[in-house]
Amino acid sequence: MAHPTKQPPAPEVEIREMELEDIAPVFILGERLFTSDRWPSLYRTWDEYEVINLFASDGDTCFVAALEERVVGFALGAIIEKRRNPWKYGYLIWIGVDEGAPVRGIGQRLLKVLTQRFIERGARMMLVDTDAENDRAINFFKKSGFGNVQHHIYMTKNLTHDPDYLKRKSRRDKEREHQAHEREASRERRDKPRE
Ligand SMILES: CC(C)(COP(=O)(O)OP(=O)(O)OC[C@H]1O[C@@H](n2cnc3c(N)ncnc32)[C@H](O)[C@@H]1OP(=O)(O)O)[C@@H](O)C(=O)NCCC(=O)NCCS
């Protein structure tokens, strides 16, 4: 009779509040996940400042998933309060999980912990958003109980033809010209042989 092979225990993933030293690994993981070629219309930008600023302003609603000390996921959120509106909203701004993580369900666990924190902080509604093409995330959010999808359109306008833009540009061009002129004059004065 074949002996059942003993499976190694599933690695333990810990969900914990984000710490200062998590900023770099969170940023690096996000760079792999939020690339512009994947979701060209993702209007928010992922950069170091995004992570640093969120950590500084809303650290208690930023969580990471760690597997043996390695960051394999994160959920960064913020509480939003609006003037003349007694409701508080929990906004999940970024969520990401390393595709190579050997365990499933990390996204769900991050979402659960963040939801609990939002409730503790008095939120009555939670918001998420993502690119309309991001089926995986949309599935993930639907599976986690989000609905009431609202379509949003983002439009752009090139401001470089606006009269105010052109005025400002011409002022700056003149300033630069003046500074170049000043530099040239001072160089000439310096280089002029003394009599
Ligand atoms: C969206 C994301 C955070 C989900 O995290 P995850 O750890 O993979 O998700 P979970 O393992 O907890 O899966 C939960 C559910 O999400 C859905 N889901 C997860 N991966 C999926 C996939 N590849 N395709 C379709 N549905 C998927 C499933 O319904 C899944 O439930 P199931 O395991 O019972 O089938 C992760 O895929 C990710 O980092 N994506 C890239 C970044 C991103 O798009 N973030 C969202 C916008 S900020």
- Give the pLDDT confidence of 37-66 residue by residue, as tens digits: 776 655 568 888 999 999 999 999 999 999
Q: Give the pLDDT score at 45.
A: 81
Binned at pLDDT 50, 70 and 90, residue 192 comes out as confident
Kindly state the tokens that stand for 79: 């509480």
> pLDDT, tens digit, for every residue of 128-187?
999 888 999 999 999 999 999 998 887 888 999 999 999 999 999 999 999 999 999 999
Ligand 1 neighbour 130 (Cβ under 6 A): yes
**What is the atom index within ligand 1 of the atom nearest the CA of 101?**
7
pLDDT exceeds cutoff 80 at 1: no
* Residue-averaged pLDDT of the chain: 91
For residues 18 and 114, state if they share a domain: yes
Task: Please tell me the chain's helix, strand, coil percentages from 3-state DSSP, rounded to the nearest 5.
Answer: 45, 20, 40
Residue nearest to atom 22 of ligand 1 (CA): 136
For residues 83 and 29, state if they share a domain: yes
> pLDDT, tens digit, for every residue of 76-86?
999 999 888 88
**86/122 Cα distance (integer angstroms):** 10
Domain that holds residue 186: 159-191
Mean pLDDT, residues 2-9 taken together? 66
Is residue 138 within 8 A of residue 128, CB to CB? The reply is: no
Q: Give the pLDDT score at 156.
A: 80
> CA quadruple 48, 53, 59, 62: dihedral positive or negative?
negative
pTM: 0.80
For residues 108 and 43, state if they share a domain: yes
Domain count, the chain: 2
- CB burial readout 118-152, b (16+ within 10 A) else e: beeeebeebebbbbeebeebbebbeeeeeeeeeee
For residues 21 and 116, state if they share a domain: yes
**144/108 Cα distance (integer angstroms):** 7
**What is the atom index within ligand 1 of the atom nearest the CA of 140?**
16
Q: Is residue 4 part of a domain?
A: no
Q: Is residue 152 part of a domain?
A: no
Ligand 1 neighbour 25 (Cβ under 6 A): no
Q: Is residue 77 part of a domain?
A: yes
**64/113 Cα distance (integer angstroms):** 10
Q: Give the pLDDT score at 123.
A: 96
**What is the atom index within ligand 1 of the atom nearest the CA of 134?**
44
- Interhelix angle for 23-33 vs 48-58, to 10°? 130
For the CA atoms of the chain, what is the radius of gyration? 25
Q: Is residue 187 part of a domain?
A: yes
In whole angstroms, what separates CA 110 from the centre of its chain?
A: 16
Mutate to test the pocket of ligand 1, among 41, 94, 138, 140 (most ligand atoms within 8 A of CB): 140
**What is the atom index within ligand 1 of the atom nearest the CA of 104?**
11
For residues 49 and 138, state if they share a domain: yes
For residues 114 and 172, state if they share a domain: no
Q: Is residue 6 part of a domain?
A: no
Ligand 1 neighbour 118 (Cβ under 6 A): no
